[in-house]
Amino acid sequence: TRETSFVEKMKKTGKNIIVFYGSQTGTAEEFANRLSKDAQRYGMKGMVADPEEYSMGELSRLSEINNSLAIFCMATYGEGDPTDNAQDFYDWLQENDDEDLSGLNYTVFGLGNKTYEHYNAMGKYVDKRLEELGATRIFDLGLGDDDGNLEEDFISWREQFWPAVCEHFGVEASGDESSIRQYELQEHPDINMNKVYTGEIGRLKSFEVQKPPYDSKNPFLAPVTVNRKLNKAGDRHLMHLELDITGSKIRYESGDHVAVFPTNDSALVNKLGQILGVDLDVVISLNNLDEESNKKHPFPCPTTYRTALTHYLDITHPPRTNVLYELAQYASDPKDQENMRKMASSSPEGKALYQNWVLDASRNILAVLEDMPSLRPPIDHLCELLPRLQARYYSIASSSKVHPNSIHICAVVVEYETKTGRVNKGVATNWLKNKLITDNGHKSTVPMYIRKSQFRLPFKATNPVIMVGPGTGIAPFMGFIQERGWLKQQGKEVGETVLYFGCRHKNEDYIYQEELEDAERNGVLTKLNVAFSRDQDHKVYVQHHLKKNKEHVWKLIHTDNAHIYICGDARNMAKDVQTAFCEIAEELGGMTHTQAVDYIKKLMTKGRYSQDVWS
């Protein structure tokens, strides 16, 4: 049985720093690992912990350990929500008012994104709540903004955090700046291939023998039954896929998200093998040097380098500074070494170099190796340092009332040219685009699971709904429209159903045009408003149509209790649309600007204004 007391585990293994993470896409977990590794440099010993695996009521006992400290790396997900793995911890914090944490030393680093309404809500809450329960904050809350440069925010915070810890505990840095390996390489020359992972996420052979229930640790292999291009013209590729979930016992509701586990482009993997001069089909394990750690391997082992680089590791995102820092020692040119270490420092010059050479140039690890011929690290160290390849979330474009055994996805293929003249391709969308219905007589499958969301049709079918979803933001509304149609067929009285959709050109990317016009003809959609942004000399967007129909919109909201839904781009569209709703409330509700902003915020709190947005 697994030890659920982190205090006992720390005592047993001589640790005094524990780093908890709330992570949805792996970044907070990555930051937690880096902080735990840092502790060694200060003669302290750290361990990383997933709050889901331990009993968090033990926080009050941490003071039994000398010079102890709890660090929390907490990401915010969705509309200011905790990540899945921190949900129980969040509930515990909210419910336990009489908890006494007076002996607990803590600090929090939050991961968020300023384009969202509830910026860093989880980090802020944990920081405030621990103090309310009597704990001692030994360093200020750090806030990372993924809309800016999250990596830089983290480095700057960490740079000031450690000196504060040293001062608080009266310890000194050992000055050991060298790279510390976390895993050791083991090769398996004569292994039975039945014991080798080939891309499974959880259990060995879980893709051959599938057993419900299906979730993030045990995805279902869903056959692709439809894969068609939606747009008639233009240089983008918008696509509609259907996944078959027959016999899986998977249930979903319209508004939920489907998570898929993509694989990297084999051409990219082969190039990495070539440039590092490695046989990618060697079977290996990377074993944690800390035998007490819950994390035995950085990814499922034993496996081959090819499988790791294809299924388990993220090789397309620009590498984070710690990767550059740790790989610097392998550059034979001292200038390259210096630049790599500089990029990982918090000096203004180093930050600018990283921003410019890595981020703005969108250089992935292969591009870094190609443009630094002196850098040829051992592949096992590279695999230890690269982050895990993450599942991608898509808003489901169908209703389970109409399609109980099928999940629809609507997405746009990501492909762009970088400043260095390379073509970068989105991992998941290019992989999905190439999922033919049958591949050499075999069915193409997609490893997937469902993530529940708060994006739900009103409980009462008679409530009107206003849906705003330009581009692929229309996805969940295809499900909503199917569902309202189904309710009508059941003889239910259904309120007004209004859609504001937008695209570039009517004859190019007006996706789902037939379905939407049918729904309008059948009275399922009571009003279909489409903005074609580029079909005239001035841009026309969904918010312009909202303003044009302001009287109708205001009546639905203020008199008829309408629910508002917004899906799509967070950075511009969601903000502009919210501003439009505020202006309508101001103008037709006779409110001041502040009152109108409050009015919309109240709709959010009441669950009548929901967003499913991404940036």
Nearest to 464 by CA among 434, 498, 430, 496: 496
Render pLDDT for 145-179 as a digit per residue (tens, 0 to 9).
999 999 999 999 999 999 999 999 988 877 666 67
Q: Is 555 helix (H, G, I), strand (E, B) or coil?
A: helix
Residue at 502 is within a domain: yes
pLDDT exceeds 80 at position 334: yes
Q: Is 363 helix (H, G, I), strand (E, B) or coil?
A: coil
| 40 annotated as belonging to a binding site for a ligand | no
Within 484-592, strands assigned E span: 497-503, 527-532, 563-569
Domain co-membership, 233 together with 149: no
Residue at 1 is within a domain: no
Count of domains in the chain?
4
pLDDT exceeds 70 at position 476: yes
**Integer CA distances (angstroms), 437 to 223, 225, 228, 450, 565, in order:** 8, 6, 10, 22, 33
What DSSP assignment string belongs to 302-350? SEEHHHIIIIIB--SSPPPHHHHHHHGGGBSSHHHHHHHHHHTS-SHHH
Domain at 134, CATH number? 3.40.50.360
Catalytic residue among 162, 486, 554, 614, which? Answer: 614
Percentage of the chain beyond pLDDT 90 is 93
Q: Is 407 helix (H, G, I), strand (E, B) or coil?
A: strand
Q: Is 408 helix (H, G, I), strand (E, B) or coil?
A: strand
pLDDT band at 2 (very low <50, low <70, confident <90, very high): confident
Domain co-membership, 525 together with 585: yes
Residue at 60 is within a domain: yes
Q: Measured between alpha carbons, how far is 599 from 468 in angstroms, rounded to an integer?
A: 19
| 78 annotated as belonging to a binding site for a ligand | yes
Domain boundary among the residues 131, 154, 169 is at 169
Specify which residues 145 forms β-bridges with: 112
Domain co-membership, 73 together with 162: yes
Percentage of the chain beyond pLDDT 70 is 99
Asked if 386 and 469 touch (Cβ cutoff 8 Å), the reply is no
DSSP secondary structure code for residue 358 in this structure: I
What DSSP assignment string belongs to 154-180? HHHHHHHHHHHHHHHHT-------S--
Domain co-membership, 123 together with 41: yes
Domain boundary among the residues 451, 479, 495 is at 451
The pair of structure tokens assigned to 495 is 């309120």
Whole-prediction pTM:
0.96
Residue at 407 is within a domain: yes
Render pLDDT for 175-199 as a digit per residue (tens, 0 to 9).
666 678 999 999 999 999 999 999 9
Q: Which residue has the tokens 């026309």?
A: 540
Q: Exposed/middle/buried for 281, CB within 10 Å: 0-12, 13-18, 19+?
A: exposed
Asked if 151 and 321 touch (Cβ cutoff 8 Å), the reply is yes
| 615 annotated as belonging to a binding site for a ligand | no
Mean pLDDT score of the chain, rounded to an integer? 96
pLDDT score recorded for residue 13:
94
Domain co-membership, 395 together with 372: no
Domain co-membership, 31 together with 160: yes
pLDDT band at 294 (very low <50, low <70, confident <90, very high): confident
Q: Are strands 220-229 and 445-451 parallel, antiparallel or unpaired?
A: antiparallel
Domain co-membership, 418 together with 530: no
The pair of structure tokens assigned to 43 is 């003669």
Domain at 243, CATH number? 2.40.30.10
* Averaged pLDDT, 131-156: 96
Residue at 209 is within a domain: no
The distance of Cα 597 from the centroid of its chain, to the nearest Å, equals 29
The pair of structure tokens assigned to 207 is 């893709």
Asked if 318 and 131 touch (Cβ cutoff 8 Å), the reply is no
Q: Are strands 17-22 and 46-49 parallel, antiparallel or unpaired?
A: parallel
Domain boundary among the residues 169, 193, 208 is at 169
| 411 annotated as belonging to a binding site for a ligand | yes
Catalytic residue among 73, 503, 567, 582, which? Answer: 567
Domain co-membership, 353 together with 329: yes
pLDDT exceeds 90 at position 441: no
373 upstream amide cis, omega within 30 of 0: no
The pair of structure tokens assigned to 333 is 């040119």
| 27 annotated as belonging to a binding site for a ligand | yes
pLDDT score recorded for residue 180:
81
| 111 annotated as belonging to a binding site for a ligand | yes
| 13 annotated as belonging to a binding site for a ligand | no
Domain co-membership, 258 together with 298: no
What DSSP assignment string belongs to 43-103? T--EEEE-GGGS-GGGGGGGGGSTT-EEEEEEEEETTTEEPGGGHHHHHHHHH-TT---TT
Domain co-membership, 153 together with 36: yes
Q: Exposed/middle/buried for 423, CB within 10 Å: 0-12, 13-18, 19+?
A: exposed
* Averaged pLDDT, 78-100: 95
Q: Which residue has the higher pLDDT, 438 or 512?
A: 512
DSSP secondary structure code for residue 147 in this structure: T
pLDDT band at 4 (very low <50, low <70, confident <90, very high): confident
State the residue range of the domain holding 502.
Answer: 465-613
Helix pair angle (475-489, 513-521), 10° resolution = 30
614 is catalytic: yes
The distance of Cα 336 from the centroid of its chain, to the nearest Å, equals 32
Domain co-membership, 248 together with 282: no
pLDDT score recorded for residue 152:
95
Domain co-membership, 122 together with 99: yes
| 555 annotated as belonging to a binding site for a ligand | no
Nearest to 186 by CA among 279, 300, 286: 286
CB atoms within 10 A of CB 370: 15
**Integer CA distances (angstroms), 545 to 98, 260, 450, 539, in order:** 52, 34, 34, 12
348 upstream amide cis, omega within 30 of 0: no
Q: Measured between alpha carbons, how far is 298 from 312 in angstroms, rounded to an integer?
A: 9
Q: Measured between alpha carbons, how far is 600 from 553 in angstroms, rounded to an integer?
A: 13
CB atoms within 10 A of CB 407: 25
Domain at 351, CATH number? 1.20.990.10
pLDDT band at 92 (very low <50, low <70, confident <90, very high): very high
Residue at 456 is within a domain: no
- Pick the range with the lowest mean pLDDT from 23-32, 177-186, 254-263: 177-186
Domain at 591, CATH number? 3.40.50.80
- Pick the range with the lowest mean pLDDT from 36-45, 153-162, 197-206, 472-481: 36-45
Catalytic residue among 206, 248, 395, 400, which? Answer: 395
| 165 annotated as belonging to a binding site for a ligand | no
486 is catalytic: no
Residue at 200 is within a domain: no
